[in-house]
Amino acid sequence: MNRKQFKSAGGLAIILVAFITLFVKCTSFEKEETKDTSKPDSTRFTKMILAEGLDEPMTMEILPGNDVLFVERKGGVRFYDNDEKTLKTIGHINVFSGIEDGLLGLAVDPNYEKNNWIYLYYSVKGDEAINRLARLELKAGILVTESEKVLLEFPTQRQYCCHSAGAMVFDSEGLLYLATGDNTNAEAAEGYVPVDERVGHELADVQATAANSNDLRGKILRLKPLDNGSYAIPEGNLFPADGSEGRPEIYVMGSRNPYRISVDAKTGYLYWGDVGPYTKVSGKEGTLSYDEINQARKSGFFGWPYFLGENEAFPLYDFETKKEGPPKDPLKPINSSRNNTGIKQLPAAQPAFIWYGRLPSERFPLVGKGGASAMVGPVYHQDLFDDAQFRLPAYYDGKLFIYDWVRRWIMAVEMNEKGDYVNMEPFLEHLDLVAPIDMKFASDGALYILEYGTNWFSKNANARLVRVEYAEGNRNPMAVIEANKLYGTAPLLVNFSAEKSEDYDKGDKLSYEWLINGKKYQGPNVSHKFTSNGSYEIWLTVKDNSGGEGSTSLNVKVGNTPPVVTISSKANQTFYWDNTAFDYRIEIEDEEDKEIDSANVEVHFTYVQYGKDLAAGLIDKPSGTQFIRGEHLVASLDCRACHSLSDVSVGPSYKEIARRYTDKAKALPMLIDKVTKGGAGNWGSREMTPHPDLKKEDVEEMVRYILSVNDPQMKLPLKGTISLDDHLNKGNEGGYVFTASYTDKGSNGIEPLKTRRQINLRSPLVQIEDFDEGNMRIGTITTAFISYARTRNNAYAMYKEIDLANVSDVTYQIQSHGEGGIIELRTDSVDGTLLATSKVPGGEVKDLKTNWRPVKAKLTRAKGKRDLYLVFKNKEAGQKTLFHIDWLYFSK
């Protein structure tokens, strides 16, 4: 070939290569353009329980090989071995776990496979209130505690609850983010935010923490960890590195309780959920009590305690004069509190990304209503999971996952190319998640979720580590185990069933494989007799005939049987009325405890002033709520070194002290003086430590708590009658919580088991918007503090488990604004048993604040606890409004 021919051939080759390249690019582009972005069927997601019975799991990290490391609040460091399918405790951090503190944060170094470094954030046990960020080594599944290096410590306060936060995450540049709560007393905020600037109330002024540039609480910090165990300040934090305007570690300030955080691996945007307050201040959607999902594209101030949501401003409440002052300017917020040690003029406040309150949200209607704890998960990018077996489909590419711990939903949030909010939709709504508290993607594309479980501050049988897999093509079966017993003594025969397992590919034939105590079984229903006491992990694997499989586990503990606690009463078990009483009788049985130990019986009756959610009833508090402040102080100070509730230690028990000083009025000043000045002689020669630094009002709260521990209302007998009068003159927001529990002594190597029963009594005046299920539109008259429902034909509201015992009739607060119609009161369903019918005439009103009137209906066949349905009817009205309804009242 001559040069001319070569050049021609070369030119042809170049053209050919260019054409092929262009063809490949075009076909690739065409392929990318036509890739399937349709929404996947939810049945393609399979949930597998890997471990359960956890003790307050907080946060987790997925390690190489899909091993899972997670921490528990009371200090446990747990390791799930993916190969062995076992859960191990590999360490315990000595933490202070009062209020919301404890072992709160976990992060794995980006170079973990080379350096084996992990990071923990925890509350240091001891008399000094300190939170610590530390680095440790984790080698071959063993936590090397002596390798600890302290990166950062800062002081906190432990006298009052709450808001500890603690989440940590690394970004793609190796920067570590740490979220901290505002650590401020909000118990006496009087329906406002805690900005109490009075002398002696410093711990109730959040302006000293979240809005203070010289304090690390109520912030999200950003650090660059160094190999020597220290850290550097990266560029772009909120304040200069020299500390001239504030702590240079601060990236975000103005947060209340930023409980979970994440960083978008591509944009670098920071996301976090901020758990909101409960206030009586009017907002655009009900009261200004929003939870927030926030997005930070750069460092900034995000409003708390001056603004919420779309920079809606709080009035600056004066706790001395009890008057509202003018709100702050979000463009130039000034922190003029005497408790502020940082700069006065703060950066301009940034609005929230998503926000929602206690009422249904008009802007974000899918989030629901009621109590809330907003949290964030990761932003998903499909190309970061190339060739991953279980990666999510392209439909979720670029979407942020958010979730709510209390409301138990997960949402996928779509954003545009700038990162602005577009919309949201439910994710994994077919799965039953019990208080999701953390979520992470593994390298194989599977989603891991930590479930906290039902009860607060306790170990829960349904606190779980779960794995969710997505399958294209053939769907994996969903494995489900049911057992007729989870506890008992040997020999214990347990029947297991996989009947609720299912495969959404209809026609697939399923096979069932069980592994129980080293023995294999086949079939959907099996029985196994445990002849020895111990804890047993039960594994079920369900396979289809196309190669798909799903698995799950269940724990059976042999050696102890849970106590049986029953509460019976002739009174109504949903409502209270003025000048009435609650009678009760408690019966306790336990198979192993031949005699019921009265010391392990707890019976409490408490009035909670804000009682719609009655969350306080989830926690066993001997002091109820009246003495909670004193109880926190006693628990957090050095008192515990010499005293306990029931047992004699270096000093007498609190119960002994309360028994001696039965004349509380005379004893109070003497004991206040004793705690303050110390001394000896009352209980022997050992001298009591003085506490001259404590404020007199704090000492008084402590003493009042100690003197109350033997009061009848603190711990009640097994049978009695209680007057219902604590709610009088306190409005209709409060509720009573009656609890009875028994903790057995444990048996045969199985830990003590506790059974707890609870009855919540609420006001018989029920706001219409507090329905549990329904399809009504909610309106708000903010100037009159009225939230009401606009009813339509076939609209309904359902209220769960309403006891109709001793209820004679129901009254509706109605406004005849619309076509008119009827109200049917039914049980169990919209077509269930009819209890009452009420007619409402049509009409029109100009002022929605007035022209409200009661409509009464007599009940028939009203017995026992049932789900109650209000159904609104008028076929001729179409979709027009029938009338407005504000509340309903159940009469005794």
Q: What is the pLDDT of residue 616?
A: 38
Q: Strand, helix or coil at 31?
A: helix
102 torsion bin: left (phi>0), alpha (psi -120 to 50), beta (else): left
pLDDT in tens, 368-419: 987 889 999 999 999 999 989 999 999 999 999 999 998 999 999 999 999 9
Q: Strand, helix or coil at 515?
A: strand
Looking at the chain, the domain(s) classified CATH 2.60.120.260 span 765-891
309 pLDDT above the threshold of 50: yes
Residue 231, C-beta contacts closer than 8 angstroms, at least 6 positions apart: 151, 152, 176, 223, 224, 225
Q: What are phi and psi of 532, to 5 degrees?
A: -125, 145
pLDDT in tens, 488-511: 999 999 999 999 999 988 888 999
Residue 723, C-beta contacts closer than 8 angstroms, at least 6 positions apart: 581
Distance CA 683, CA 642 (A): 12
Residue 669, C-beta contacts closer than 8 angstroms, at least 6 positions apart: none
User: Is the CATH code 1.10.3470.10 the one for domain 564-762?
Assistant: no
Only one residue has tokens 């002290």, namely 657
Confidence band of 625 (pLDDT split at 50, 70, 90)? very low
Distance CA 525, CA 503 (A): 17
Distance CA 338, CA 350 (A): 24
| Pairing mode, strands 354-356 and 323-325 | unpaired
Distance CA 525, CA 528 (A): 10
681 pLDDT above the threshold of 70: no
In order, the DSSP letters of 665-697 are: HHHHHHHHHHHHH-B-SSSSSSPBPP-TTS-HH
Only one residue has tokens 């309403």, namely 802
Only one residue has tokens 């776990």, namely 97
Nearest to 303 by CA among 252, 250, 377, 375: 252
Distance CA 128, CA 458 (A): 25
Contact 880, 758 (CB under 8 A): no
Q: How far is CA 69 from the centre of its chain?
A: 21
Q: Strand, helix or coil at 533?
A: coil
pLDDT in tens, 442-484: 999 999 999 998 777 778 888 999 999 998 888 889 899 999 9
Q: How many residues does the chain have?
A: 892
Distance CA 22, CA 371 (A): 56
1 pLDDT above the threshold of 70: no
Looking at the chain, the domain(s) classified CATH 2.60.40.10 span 482-557
15 pLDDT above the threshold of 50: no
Tokens of 544: 């289809």
∠ CA 766-767-770, nearest 5°, is 95
Taking each helix axis from N to C end, the angle separating 664-677 and 696-708, rounded to the nearest 10 degrees, works out to 130
Contact 99, 162 (CB under 8 A): yes
Tokens of 161: 């609850």
Looking at domain 765-891, which of 1.10.3720.10, 2.130.10.10, 3.40.109.10, 2.60.120.260 is its CATH number? Answer: 2.60.120.260
Q: What is the pLDDT of residue 715?
A: 67
Tokens of 147: 């390798």
Q: Work out the number of other CB atoms within 10 angstroms of the CB of residue 56.
A: 23
pLDDT in tens, 105-131: 999 999 999 999 999 999 999 989 999
Tokens of 437: 């508290």
Q: Work out the number of other CB atoms within 10 angstroms of the CB of residue 632.
A: 24
| Pairing mode, strands 291-296 and 270-274 | antiparallel
Looking at the chain, the domain(s) classified CATH 1.10.760.10 span 564-762
Q: What is the pLDDT of residue 25?
A: 40
Radius of gyration of the chain (CA): 30
Any long-range contacts for 33-41 (C-beta under 8 Å, 24+ apart)? 35/394, 36/393, 36/394, 36/395, 37/393, 37/394, 37/395, 37/397, 38/395, 39/395, 40/393, 40/395, 40/470, 41/504
Distance CA 620, CA 604 (A): 9
pLDDT in tens, 64-80: 999 999 999 999 999 99
Q: Work out the number of other CB atoms within 10 angstroms of the CB of residue 533.
A: 19
Query: What does the pLDDT average to over 328-354?
Result: 97
Q: What percent of the chain has pLDDT over 70?
A: 87
pTM for the model stands at 0.69
Nearest to 821 by CA among 888, 880, 887: 880
What's the order of all strands across the beta sheet hosting 57-62? 57-62, 68-72, 76-81, 86-92
Distance CA 819, CA 874 (A): 8
Superfamily of segment(s) 482-557: Immunoglobulins (2.60.40.10)
Distance CA 225, CA 177 (A): 10
